[in-house]
Structure 1
Amino acid sequence: MILHFKEKLSNENNRIVILNSIGAFILKGSSLLITLMTLPAFMKYFGNQEVLGLWFAILSILSWVFSFDLGIGNGLRNYLVKSLIKDNKDLVKSYISSAYILTAIIVFVATLFISLFFKYIKWNVIFNIPSNLVSENVINLTILISVFGVLIQFLLKLVSSILYALQKSVINNLLQLASSILILLFVSNFDFQDLSTSLVVLSIIHFAAINLPLLIVTIIIFSTVLKGSIPSFKYFKKDRANEVIKLGGVFLWVQIMYMLIIVTDEFLIAYLSSTSHVVEYQVYNRVFTISGSIVLLVMTPVWSVITKAYAESDYLWLARLYKILKSVFLLMVFLQIIITVFLQDIINFWLGENVITVNSLYSIVFMFLGITFIWNSILSSISNGMGELKTQIIYFTIGAAIKFPLSFILVYYLESWIGVVISSVICMSMYCVAQPIWLSKFFKRTLSLQH
C-alpha cells in the first residue's frame, strides 16, 4: 500500500516536471531567441558601443537591486507549496497577504530612501563614462526611472512565486517572453536623433515592459484561481510574516552573495576597463549562457516539484532526478565544447562578418563560465527546493569576499577585462565542488534509512 502511494506521488511529480519543462522549452526557448535578436537591435538603436555598454551596466545594477527583496518571494514559494499540499486555505491566505504587505513596506521605504539620496550619487564616475557623451542629468533620470520600475516589479513579481507554487511555471515563462518581445519591438522600430533621448525613452519602455505583463496576470490570478485570497490586512499574520522573512532572509543572503560573484561582471569591466568592453563581454556571454539558460528554464519549474517531493519524503524520486540531471550536465558540457569550436561561425551568423574577432583565451574562459553556470543551476535548484542552503551560504560568501580583489589582481596582471570573468569562474567553482559532496551524503543516508 505504501509503495503504491509512493509510486503514485512519483508519477504525479514526473508528470508535473514533464509538462512544465515542455512549456518552458517552448516559451523560454522563444525568449532566448528574442534575447539573441535584441543585441543587434540594441547596437543599431544606440549606434554607440560606449552608451550601449552603459545601458547593459545599468541593467546589471538593477539586477543587484532586485535581489534586495529580503528573499520574500522565495520564502513565499516554499511555504505556499507546503500549504497547498495540506489544502489549508487559511494558511494560503495568510502567507500571501503577509508576503505582499511586507514587500509593500520595503518598496515604500526604498522609494523614500532613493528619493532623498539618489541625487548625490556621481553615476558618470561609477560607470566610467564622460559627461560630454552622456550628461549627469540624463544618467540620473535614466537610472531613476529604471530603479522605480524595478521597485514596482518587487511587488508585482510575487505573483511569479505564487505561480511556481501552483505548478504553473509556464505562465512565468510567458511573462518573460512578453517583456522581451515588447522591448525588441521598440528598439527595432524606433530611432532617435540623440543618445540622451534614446536612453531616457528606453528606460520608460523597460519600466512598462517588465511591469505590465505582471500586473495583468496578477489581476487574472486573484480573480480566478485565488479569488478568495486577495492580499488583505485582515489575513496578515505576524508569525507567518516572520516565517516567510526568516526563510527569505536566508535566500536573500544567498542571492546577494551569488549576485556579487556573477552579476557584478559588467560593472567591474566598465570600471576597470571601458563600457565598450561590456558589449564584447555581452557577445561572448550570451552565446555561452544559452546552454545554461536551457538548463535553468528546466530547473525553474522543477524547484517547486522538488519542494513537493521533499515534503512527501519521496527521496527515491529525488535521487533519480539528481542522477538524470547529472547526465544532462554532461550533455551540456559537450555542447559547450562544440560552441567553443564553432564560436566564430556562430557570431558571424548572428551579428554579421567582422563585428568581432574571437579571442581563443576568451572563448575558453567563457566555456568554463558556462559550465559552472549550468552545474550551479542544477545544484542550487535541488538544494533550494529542499531548503538546504548552508552549503550555498558558506561557499557563495567566500566567493563574494574574494571576487572584487581577485578581479582587480587578474585584470592588472593580464591587462585585460577577461580577468573579471576568470575571477567569476574561480569563485563559483568552490560551491560546484562542495554541494555534490553534501548531496551524495544526503541520498546515501536517507535511502539507507528507507530500506
Structure 2
Amino acid sequence: MTILVFLNNIINKGHGRSVKAKKNIIASFLIKGISIAISLILVPLTIHYINPSRYGIWLTLSSIVGWFSFFDIGLTQGLRNKFAEAKAKGEDDLAQIYVSTTYAILALIFFFVWILFLIVNHFLNWSHILNITENMQSEISILAVIVFTYFCLQFVLRVITTLIIADQQPAKSSLIDVFGQIFSLIFILILVKTTQGSLVKLGIALCVSPLLVLIGANLFFFRGVFKKFRPVYSKIKFPYAKGLFNLGMVFFIIQVAGIIQYETANIIIARNFGTLEVTSYNIVYKYFGILNMIFVIFITPFWSASTEAYLKRDIQWIKNAIKKYTKLNMLLLGLGCLMLVFSQAVYRIWLGKGTVTIGFYISFWGLIYFNISMFAAKYVYFLNGINALRIQFWASLLSPVFYVILAILFINYFKMGVYSVFIASILANFNGYILSPIQYYMVVNKNKKGIWIK
C-alpha cells in the first residue's frame, strides 16, 4: 500500500500538463508492450506463411502505396495544431468546424485518388516495378487494389487518432492500434491453420482488421468524450480550410521528405539487392525500432503540450522537458548497444535459424540511425508544436534529394551494402540533429523572433 501511495504521489506531482503526460506515458508503456509483443509474433508468422521473398514484396508494395499520403497535403498535422490551439482557448465551436472540414476534405481527396488508382492500376507492370517474375502480375495487381483501398479509407478514419493525440492522450490512440494488431494476429493465425500462403489473403487480413477497429473508434469517441467536436455537415466550412492548408502545406512538404526517405528505402533495396534484402532491412528496422517505440511513448504528448506551454509562455516547463528527454536519449543509447551485442542471437530465436541472414553492419547502422532520430525528435516536436516550421520547410526541400543521391552513390559507386540506406538517411536528416537544436536554443534560450519562430 505504501508503494502504491508513493507511486501515486510521483504521478500526481507537478504541473497539470506534466501529470497528464505522466499518466499517458505509463498507460502507453503497457499498451506498447502489448504492441511490441504482437509485432514480434506477427513478423515470423507472416514470413513463414508466405516465405521471406514474398514478405519483401508485401513490404515494398506497401511502401509504394504509402507514397500516396502526399494527397493528405499535411491536413491532419495542421488539424492537430489548430485543434489544440482552439481547445486551449476554449473555442469549441471553432474546433468542431476544423474537425468537420478536415473529414470532408480528406474524404473528397481520397475518393478521387482511389478512383484514379483503379484506372491506372490496369496499366501498371508490377512484375517490372518490383523486380519479380511475370506470373505474379495478376496476384500483385489484386493485392495493390486491396492495400490502396485500405490506405484511402484509413487515412480518413484516422483523423480520430489525430484528435486524441492533440488532446494529449496518446495512450488511447495507441490502444486503437493495438486492437487492430490483435485482430490482424487472429486473422493471420486462422490463415496459417486453414490455407496455403497467399499474398492476397494476407493483404485482406492485415487491411480489414485495423479498418474495423477505426470505424468502432470513430463511433465510440464521437458519441463520448468528443461528442461536441463530432463532424457534422452543417459545420463543414471550406473557407476555414485556408488556415488548415496554410499550416498543412508546410507540414506536407516536410512529410514528403520523410516519405521519400522512409518509403523509397524498400524500393531502392528491392531494385538493387532483391526483395529478400528488403526483408532483412525491415527486420533490423523493426528490431531497433523498439527503441523508437519506447521514445515515442514519452515524446508524443510533448508536441501538443508544447503548443499549450508556449502560448502560455511557460518556458521553464519546456526547458525541463527537453532536459528529461536528453537523459532518456542517453538511457536508450545504452539499451541499444546491448541490443546490438545480442542482435544475432535475438534474430535466430525470433525468426528461426537460417530464415534470414542479417549482417553486423546493417544492425550497427540501424542502431545509429534510430538514436540520431530520437535525439532530433525532441527539438522537432517542440518546433512543430509552436508552428516554427520555416527552417524545417527549407531543409525538407533539400533532404530527400540529398538522400537519394547519397543512396545511389553508396550503392553503385562505393559498392556498399544494404546498410548504406541507413547512412544516407542519417546524413540527409541534417535538420534534425543540426538545425533544429540551434533553432530551439535561439527561441527558448535567446528569445529570438523573426525566422526562428516562423
* Same-fold status (TM-score > 0.5): yes
CA contact (8 A) 1:343 1:358 kept: no
Where does the alignment leave 5 or more consecutive residues of structure 1 unmatched?
Answer: 1-7
CA contact (8 A) 2:74 2:249 kept: yes
Q: C-alpha separation between the residues in 1 aligned to 2:351 and 2:227?
A: 47
Identical pairs, percent: 24
Q: Does residue 53 of the first structure (1) align with residue 56 of the second (2)?
A: yes
Give the structure 2 partner of residue 34 of structure 1: 38
Q: C-alpha separation between the residues in 2 aligned to 1:313 and 1:238?
A: 32
CA contact (8 A) 1:16 1:167 kept: yes
Offset at 1:419? 2.2
Q: C-alpha separation between the residues in 2 aligned to 1:274 and 1:431?
A: 31
Give the structure 2 partner of residue 81 of structure 1: 84
CA contact (8 A) 1:16 1:305 kept: no
Report matched runs for 1:305-384 at 5 Å.
Answer: 305-384=305-384
Q: Does residue 189 of the first structure (1) align with residue 187 of the second (2)?
A: no
Q: C-alpha separation between the residues in 1 aligned to 2:348 and 2:118?
A: 45
CA contact (8 A) 2:153 2:211 kept: yes
Offset at 1:176? 0.9
Give the structure 1 partner of residue 265 of structure 2: 265
CA contact (8 A) 1:76 1:244 kept: yes
Q: C-alpha separation between the residues in 2 aligned to 1:429 and 1:331?
A: 23
Give the structure 2 partner of residue 22 of structure 1: 26
Q: C-alpha separation between the residues in 1 aligned to 2:298 and 2:431?
A: 24
Offset at 1:175? 0.9
Where does the alignment leave 5 or more consecutive residues of structure 2 unmatched?
Answer: 1-11, 450-454
Offset at 1:210? 2.1
User: How many correspondences in the alignment?
Assistant: 436
Query: Per the alignment, in what secondary structure is the counterpart of residue 416 of structure 1?
Result: coil
1:193–1:221 distance in 2 versus 1, CA, 3 Å: closer
Report the RMSD for the aligned CA atoms in angstroms. 2.2
Query: Per the alignment, in what secondary structure is the counterpart of residue 414 of structure 1?
Result: coil
Q: Return 185-194 or 162-171, whichever deviates more.
A: 185-194
Give the structure 2 partner of residue 107 of structure 1: 110
* Structure 1 residue ranges, 4+ long, deviating more than 6 angstroms after superposition: none
Q: C-alpha separation between the residues in 2 aligned to 1:24 and 1:118?
A: 39
Q: C-alpha separation between the residues in 1 aligned to 2:166 and 2:419?
A: 39
Give the structure 2 partner of residue 3 of structure 1: none
Give the structure 2 partner of residue 4 of structure 1: none
CA contact (8 A) 1:54 1:275 kept: yes
Q: Return 139-148 or 220-229, whichever deviates more.
A: 220-229
Q: Which amino acid aligns with 2:398?
A: I
1:138–1:60 distance in 2 versus 1, CA, 3 Å: same
Q: Which amino acid aligns with 1:202?
A: L
Q: C-alpha separation between the residues in 1 aligned to 2:227 and 2:289?
A: 39
Give the structure 1 partner of residue 225 of structure 2: 225
Q: C-alpha separation between the residues in 1 aligned to 2:358 and 2:139?
A: 34
Q: Return 274-283 or 413-422, whichever deviates more.
A: 413-422
Offset at 1:115? 2.4
Give per-residue Cα distances to partners, 1:41-78, cap 9 Å, x unaligned. Answer: 111211x2221100111222233323531111111111
1:168–1:286 distance in 2 versus 1, CA, 3 Å: same
Give the structure 2 partner of residue 96 of structure 1: 99
CA contact (8 A) 1:295 1:377 kept: no
Q: C-alpha separation between the residues in 1 aligned to 2:181 and 2:87?
A: 31
Give the structure 2 partner of residue 444 of structure 1: 445
Give the structure 2 partner of residue 396 of structure 1: 396
Q: C-alpha separation between the residues in 1 aligned to 2:70 and 2:186?
A: 28
Q: Return 415-424 or 247-256, whichever deviates more.
A: 415-424
Q: Return 275-284 or 181-190, whichever deviates more.
A: 181-190
Q: C-alpha separation between the residues in 1 aligned to 2:257 and 2:129?
A: 21
TM-score scaled by length of structure 2: 0.91
Q: C-alpha separation between the residues in 1 aligned to 2:436 and 2:125?
A: 40
